[in-house]
Structure 1
């Protein structure tokens, strides 16, 4: 009963607009007070739980990767890359949309900050796409979906948090996520090519008077800095030279060094990246504390054992369990963010995963792919909020919601591919 009260109260508080961290914390306090076997004494364990999380060395990578992302976003490095690659693919039918997908993947591998990627691509690319006759639905869908690639393609904040919560090597998670990430990118591009072939009027080619050799040179030049950063950050992890946290520190320093080469460094840039990093990191860890209180009450009330018993006794097939959990996480993604889902739902599911003998690495990748859709699913898809806020009246909300449906379906297809072909996860890990 306490577990049900927890979720009902948390849901009500979220719906009335209470910040997530406080909603989960308040629901935990309320449930503890009404449970005669708990009371407020149960929170005597909370400082030890929080302190244990704070000692997790892996989580230090979160603010460092966030900082790196903001430096690249504000230093014009990412902006130059988007403009030059857009010109490179522009003459191809649907080429500008394909360029956005490719840039989204590169930004994902070098920053992983969804909000910054979506806003930047919206400001730069959306007016150009609409001016040249692109469908608002296709333009909005491509930008919103491409911006979410940072949720799966390493160095992903989602993968770092999943690794910490599930006690899995983040380096292995990064390796395992590359193939599914490339599958999503490939399917996005295939979809755009098909749409551009069937309906040329919604994704026309863009003519340019510039010599193509000059455009190619500019595009390659713009890719040098991001690829150096990707090679240093991910290469050091995959080669075993550095842990994810150490490589994040290298990446943060490397992004600053690159701004000197591009002559965009100034104190305002450093101040902006630092302040924004502190804001987002504080938000994440406040949610973590609220979610820890929620999980503490849930487990101490015995609800966790009831859930485990239900799945292991009533559902003997691991694929039925996976299907139920994937649908549950997908539905939750309509209402709450990936951070809350990771901190609240995953600790509940973890004992069941172990009971069924499911490989946690594979299961973590399924969750990561699923969580990527939470940025696109209305009404609370954050990628949609970012795009609409940056676009203003250039695109209607209806067109935006309809435009992202094909990309959500592509993510679901990718999820099914990884479920039925699990070997894809282990290609680079092994």
Structure 2
């Protein structure tokens, strides 16, 4: 067998193992090891090469951005800043038709700008927003669908754990990826807000036919007290990165210190909660570390097999234009999202596409944003839809089924498709701030 044939077999076996339920990084590592062994003819050489890949994956200084931003996100979530953001945004939009829904989207946008983890947003706003939405006349399906849809903003609006993972996989600037995510992230938030207003007007049976205006506003002093901490934290972290004052790693460290300060100052962060946060941060960091190691091994195996080069030649011979190629890629990403989590999709597809796109001169920053938006759509699609399962497990309401959440999230998945089409058609949307 040629190296190309071995690469194809390894790819097929890996897909089969994943479908049978094997943990994706384990499948990647196992198939990569056997693939390199078959190509090079030596298990010792294969183990040394993959060992070097593992070392290269996490020895970089920039890997430190992962635990720091994860820790900051958990502290912000635990300290109640999500609830504060919701109350401030709710107060600003309470008199608009569907205003409480828009307030939820705005609060999720603010929360996303400091946490970067969509699962955290889904869990926090399920507890905060869903009861309030139901109390003011919104239907159960729309309430949970709105939270599911707006929670994925955490994967796009910087800082984003998925953008960090993409940057580490492709050796692109994490700071540039953060800047590139601002325009599409705000566009998606605006589309969600406009869609909520239109649905409240034209589909009242789906949203809620007897919406009561929310008069639970806050005074100016309360608004400042609740909004100031998270505003200062966002300005400190993102302003420092975009202003060139410090690197993303340094921003994560400074933001973590700032989050600790506000958490203890508010009295909402206890030593016991801090210990739990540290343990959860360690678990997430170890998981991401394992994912990156598996991805590096997988990339080495693909390089040895010549599989990406073969796919590149196939694309050239098929005479596919860039838009057609990216559209086909996005379709595959969304389909993968129906059975895999977001990190696994990125691990499998990005190393395969990267060598195909680089000779074409594609902007990899733009490609990263396109990839993240397409993956986000997968977070809302059945049967996997991890955000939907997080909401269901957090809700503790047996009257709301998984199908209710998927149906409620469907309009927001459609709005995300519109956002994806705009970003593909207008690449400048990701680069105008760079």
Q: TM-score range by the shorter chain?
A: over 0.9
Q: 2:337 is matched with which residue: 333, 338, 341? A: 333
* Alpha-carbon distance change, 375 to 215 in structure 1, aligned in 2, over 3 angstroms: farther
Number of positions where the alignment pairs a residue of Structure 1 with one of Structure 2: 426
1:409 CA drift (Å): 1.3
1:72 CA drift (Å): 1.0
Contact kept, 8 Å, 1:58 with 1:160, in 2: the verdict is no
Q: Confirm or deny that 1:420 pairs with 2:425.
A: yes
* Alpha-carbon distance change, 421 to 207 in structure 1, aligned in 2, over 3 angstroms: closer
Partner of 2:368: 364
Alpha-carbon separation, structure 1, partners of 2:262 and 2:97: 34
Q: Confirm or deny that 1:206 pairs with 2:212.
A: yes
1:178 CA drift (Å): 0.6
Partner of 2:413: 408
Q: Confirm or deny that 1:47 pairs with 2:48.
A: no
Alpha-carbon separation, structure 1, partners of 2:343 and 2:425: 26
* Alpha-carbon distance change, 39 to 324 in structure 1, aligned in 2, over 3 angstroms: farther
1:24 CA drift (Å): 2.0
Q: Confirm or deny that 1:271 pairs with 2:241.
A: no
Contact kept, 8 Å, 1:32 with 1:297, in 2: the verdict is yes
Q: 1:189 is matched with which residue: 169, 186, 193? A: 193
1:13 CA drift (Å): 2.4
Contact kept, 8 Å, 2:58 with 2:293, in 1: the verdict is no
Within-5 A mapping of 1:383-402 = 383-392=387-396, 393-402=398-407
Q: Confirm or deny that 1:158 pairs with 2:162.
A: yes
Moved more, 198-207 or 165-174: 198-207
For structure 1, the residue ranges without an aligned partner over 5 or more in a row are none
Alpha-carbon separation, structure 2, partners of 1:53 and 1:279: 18
Moved more, 179-188 or 383-392: 383-392
Alpha-carbon separation, structure 2, partners of 1:207 and 1:319: 44
Alpha-carbon separation, structure 1, partners of 2:89 and 2:361: 45
Contact kept, 8 Å, 1:86 with 1:99, in 2: the verdict is yes
For structure 2, the residue ranges without an aligned partner over 5 or more in a row are none
* Alpha-carbon distance change, 259 to 402 in structure 1, aligned in 2, over 3 angstroms: same
SS at match of 2:28: helix
Within-5 A mapping of 1:165-176 = 165-176=169-180
Partner of 1:311: 315
* Alpha-carbon distance change, 394 to 261 in structure 1, aligned in 2, over 3 angstroms: farther
Within-5 A mapping of 1:228-247 = 228-247=232-251
Partner of 2:134: 130
- CA-to-partner distance for each residue in 1:70-96, whole Å, 9 max, x for gaps? 111111222233245335534433111
1:207 CA drift (Å): 4.3
Partner of 2:256: 252
Alpha-carbon separation, structure 2, partners of 1:165 and 1:62: 13
1:372 CA drift (Å): 1.7
